[in-house]
């Protein structure tokens, strides 16, 4: 029996009456100047019916507005209808509460003028100062709370949808990047095997490390900076094996100081290095060169890649698609590090350079966000 009554109360939200009782009791206590006097007037005086009319009728008016008028009429094209119905509800509720005054006088058998200290010509003023003003206050308060809650819920939903959209795009970009690297790496292995079979085992060992990295870390939102650098070193070594080192000047400066505590989005640095090896010049009578620089200053990563190139490459790259790698990583930077990165790409007649600065977070900061 008790459980069924409680279910009925919860289902029809009758517990809200407790709130409205407290709301009106608070204002009665404020106007009377005593919480005890207010309680006595509510339960042990001739004003109980008047108080009950405020609680019940204003609660009814509020919920008619919140759950019927607002959902149906507070929308573009129906604002005049909503305003009309809203004002009509206020008038009906205030008239009903005024009727509660007369019912209170009738039940207690005390003349209306005596009970409420008013003269007949003051009835309208009593309605304005009591039922009407109180109904306007309670309904506008409830509507403000409702609209604020709706706005907060809409903002949370918008933020969630936007976040899901960004995560979906990032996953797509990572899935697009993975086959791109696999194809280029397999191609490098193929060239190396035909060029120097003695180095095939070393290249396959490096390739297995690359595959392991891609299989287990590609879809992670963040990895340690040390992992990214390890992959970068393996990639450079593999590329070095298949290039003519006698005519290649490769300078790699990786300052690993302090990087152990920071994280980074996976595959963020590799495309720039891959692009340098892919589009390096092929001079016969002079050195071809690639410079890779890596340094961490406080929480900012400074990364640079420059390589030599020829005018013939400049002309051919203007016609051909430069590949998805760099466009992909630029988009990932925009999504993952908005307003926290600086990317500069310069294309000159005999040089191609990339400078990247990224503000990184520590592993603890990333774990706190996930938690």
Q: Return the pLDDT at 317.
A: 52
Looking at the chain, the whole-number percentage of residues with pLDDT higher than 90 is: 19
Average pLDDT (104-117) is 89
Q: CA-CA distance, 81 to 88, in Å (whole number)?
A: 11
Looking at the chain, the whole-number percentage of residues with pLDDT higher than 70 is: 78
Average pLDDT (271-293) is 85
Q: Return the pLDDT at 166.
A: 66
What is the sign of the dihedral through the CA atoms of 189, 178, 339 and 226?
A: negative
Q: CA-CA distance, 57 to 32, in Å (whole number)?
A: 22
pLDDT band at 170, cuts 50/70/90? low
Tell me the average pLDDT of the chain.
80
Distance of alpha carbon 196 from the chain centroid: 52
Among residues 250, 248, 241, 237, the alpha carbon closest in space to that of 193 is found at 241
Residue 280 reports pLDDT greater than 50 = yes
Indicate yes or no: pTM above 0.85.
no
DSSP symbols for 275-321: HHHHT----SSS-EEEEEEEEEETTEEEEEEEEE--HHHHHHHHHS-
Q: Return the pLDDT at 321.
A: 45
Q: Return the pLDDT at 320.
A: 44
Class of 196-370 in CATH: alpha beta
**Which residue ranges make up each domain of the chain?**
2-157, 196-370
Average pLDDT (101-122) is 88
Q: CA-CA distance, 336 to 169, in Å (whole number)?
A: 11
- Residues 78-99 as b/e (b if ≥16 CB within 10 A, e otherwise) read eeeebeebbeebbeebbebbbe
> Across 35-44, 62-71, 195-204, 240-249, which has the greatest mean pLDDT?
62-71
Alpha-carbon distances of 224 from 133, 148, 320, rounded to whole Å: 63, 41, 35
Lowest-confidence region among 71-75, 197-201, 207-211, 245-249: 197-201
pLDDT higher at 214 or 50: 50
Q: Return the pLDDT at 319.
A: 36
pLDDT higher at 31 or 152: 152
> Across 82-96, 146-160, 328-342, which has the greatest mean pLDDT?
82-96
Q: Return the pLDDT at 318.
A: 43
Collect all residues with Cβ–Cβ distance below 8 Å to 138 and sequence separation of at least 6. 23, 58, 61, 62
């Amino acid at each position: 029996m008790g459980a069924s009554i409680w279910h009925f109360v919860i289902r029809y939200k009758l517990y809200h009456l407790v709130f409205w009782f407290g709301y009106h009791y608070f204002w009665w206590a404020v106007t009377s100047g005593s919480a005890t006097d207010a309680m006595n007037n509510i339960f042990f005086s001739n004003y109980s019916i008047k108080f009950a009319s405020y609680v019940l009728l204003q609660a009814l008016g509020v919920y008619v507005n919140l759950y019927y008028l607002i959902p149906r009429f507070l929308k573009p094209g129906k604002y005049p209808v909503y305003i009309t119905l809203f004002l009509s509800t206020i008038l009906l509720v205030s008239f009903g509460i005024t009727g509660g005054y007369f019912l209170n006088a009738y039940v207690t058998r005390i003349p209306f003028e005596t009970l409420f200290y008013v003269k007949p010509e003051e009835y309208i003023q009593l309605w304005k100062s009591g039922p009407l003003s109180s109904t306007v206050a309670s309904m506008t308060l409830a509507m403000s709370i409702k609209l604020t809650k709706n706005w907060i819920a809409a903002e949370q939903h918008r933020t969630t949808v936007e976040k899901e959209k960004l995560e979906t795009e990032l996953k797509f970009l990572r899935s697009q990047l993975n086959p791109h690297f696999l194809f280029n790496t397999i191609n490098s292995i193929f060239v190396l095997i035909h060029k120097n079979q003695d180095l095939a085992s070393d290249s396959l060992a490096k390739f297995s490390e690359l595959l392991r990295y891609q299989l287990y870390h590609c879809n992670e939102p963040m990895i340690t900076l040390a992992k990214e650098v390890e992959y970068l070193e393996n990639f450079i070594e593999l590329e070095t094996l298949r290039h003519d080192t006698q005519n290649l000047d490769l300078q790699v400066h990786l300052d690993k100081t302090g990087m152990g505590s920071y994280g980074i989005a996976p595959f963020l640095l590799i495309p720039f290095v891959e692009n340098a090896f892919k589009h390096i010049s092929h001079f016969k009578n002079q050195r071809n060169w690639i410079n890779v620089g890596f340094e961490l200053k406080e929480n900012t990563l400074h990364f640079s890649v420059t390589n030599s190139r020829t005018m013939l490459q400049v002309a051919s790259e203007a016609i051909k698609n430069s590949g998805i790698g760099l466009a992909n990583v630029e988009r990932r930077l925009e999504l993952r590090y908005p307003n926290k990165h600086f990317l500069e790409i310069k294309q000159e007649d005999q040089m191609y350079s990339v400078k990247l600065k990224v503000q990184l977070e520590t592993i603890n900061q990333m774990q706190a966000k996930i938690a």
